[in-house]
Amino acid sequence: MTKPDISHRQALREKQCFVLKIGSALLTDNGKGLDEARLANWIDQIAAIKSAGVDIVLVSSGAVAVGLTRLGLTERPNVIHELQAAAAVGQAGLVNTYERNFQRHAIHTAQILLTHDDLSDRKRYLNARATIKQLLAMDVIPIVNENDTVVTDEIRFGDNDTLAALVANLVGSDALIILTDQDGLFTEDPRVNKDATLIQSAWADDTSLDALAGGSHGSLGRGGMITKLRAARIAARSGAVTYIVGGRIEQVLTRIFEGDLIGTELVPRNDPLTSRKLWLAGQLQTRGVLVLDAGAVTVLKKGGKSLLPVGVKSVTGRFVRGDVVICADETGTEIARGIVNYNLDESMKICGFGSDRIAEQLGYCAEPELIHRDNMTLSE
């Protein structure tokens, strides 16, 4: 697979907006407590970049880790309510530290706590986007985190890399910067093999990179390098370039801003999706699965076509009209996802039939399509 030409790599200073994600291990120096000196240094760099006219949205992990430190706990609990309690304790201290440091530069901050429900509901999604956009227009830096104090396993993002990527889609940022405890993505784990080579630039959709990414090695965070690759692919949907780079590198943010070749750059290959299709593609929760026959799979893959009930072999799940469902082939591979026009019972009754027979099966015909092409996005 061809690689992006790094000789034409754009400096971040040419971009207008970026999302910056900082992980728990960096913020707390691997659980030793909030590293205020390092955080203050990053904020100095952010302030300098902001003064150059770049809008910045900060996605910060660390509430749970800071809370655990304050409570004297050395390991991340497995019980959800203990995690929520730790997040509640840590969130206040974390945000206060950010606010205090940004005030040194006369910059105001705003706290934005999100759950997946906030982004899965179209109206709330648009409200969240409008709020963040307004804050940026008012020269405020939004600080986004998952709402760990109320989140449950069913609605959590799973890691803040994914959250950061969805926020990049939400605001239409030009770049996503993920600060990590590694200097980037390597050909092998540099902690094991000192001869491992840094991958400076690659296409975000290059799945061969997955084999190079291991799991999370930290006890406080939930992400690993694989989640950062997945985040890059989500961010690429809106045309954002992703930078995975070591947060401990001196002047890391200003160096990236100036175009230095540090860390790993993951470049989007395809044109950005439209706003509505970005929202559809970003849904981590779906309500059902429509299994398609080979003909329908071919039609959808060619693009630009709606899904008709005649191409559906079976339906499973619990959904109503307006929910997001997955379209899969007969092996279970996801082909697309979209907003369904009929509920579960109705979809089961009309699947396999032509659109001209919907009224015969249901007694009425709300729409000729099961999913309209404008409400569908193809999977990666």
Q: How confident is the model at residue 8 (pLDDT cuts 50, 70, 90)?
A: very low
Average pLDDT of the residues of the chain: 86
**R_g (Cα) of the chain, nearest Å:** 22
> pLDDT at position 218, please?
46
Tokens encoding 331: 């092996």
**pLDDT value at residue 276:** 77
pLDDT tops 70 at residue 73? yes
**Local confidence band at 216 (pLDDT 50, 70, 90 cut-offs):** very low
Range of 25-29, 33-37, 57-61, 269-273 with top mean pLDDT: 57-61
pLDDT tens-digit series, residues 116-131: 778 877 788 889 999 9
> Cα 188 to the chain's mean position, in Å?
25
* DSSP SS3 for 346: helix
Is residue 152 very low, low, confident or very high in pLDDT (cuts 50, 70, 90)? low
How far apart are the C-alpha atoms of 59 and 251, rounded to whole Å?
A: 19
Mean pLDDT of 307-312: 96
pLDDT at 352 over 90: yes
Instruction: Tell me the sheet residues that pair with 255.
Output: none
At residue 35's C-alpha, the angle toward residues 33 and 37, to 5°, is 150
pTM for the full model? 0.79
Could you tell me what percent of the chain has a pLDDT over 90? Answer: 49
At 273, the pLDDT band (50, 70, 90 cuts) reads confident
Whether residue 72 is predicted with pLDDT greater than 90 in this model: the reply is: no
**Per-residue pLDDT, 359:** 95
Confidence of residue 148 (pLDDT cuts 50, 70, 90): low
Higher pLDDT, 274 or 312: 312
Q: What is the mean pLDDT of residues 138-164?
A: 77
If you average pLDDT over residues 175-187, what whole number do you get?
91
* Residue 5 pLDDT class (50, 70, 90 cuts): low
CA distance linking residue 358 with residue 352, whole number of Å: 10
pLDDT band at 23 (very low <50, low <70, confident <90, very high): confident
Over residues 15-33, mean pLDDT: 82
State whether residue 73 is helix, strand or coil: coil
* Mean pLDDT value of segment 313-337: 93
Distance CA 97, CA 51 (A): 21
Mean pLDDT over residues 338-365, rounded? 94
All domains in the chain, ordered by first residue: 6-277 (3.40.1160.10), 286-378 (2.30.130.10)
Residue 25 confidence class, pLDDT cut points 50, 70, 90: confident
Burial class of residue 245 (count of CB atoms within 10 Å of its CB; 0-12, 13-18, 19+): buried
Q: CA-CA distances (angstroms) from residue 309 to 181, 321, 354, 356?
A: 49, 14, 6, 10
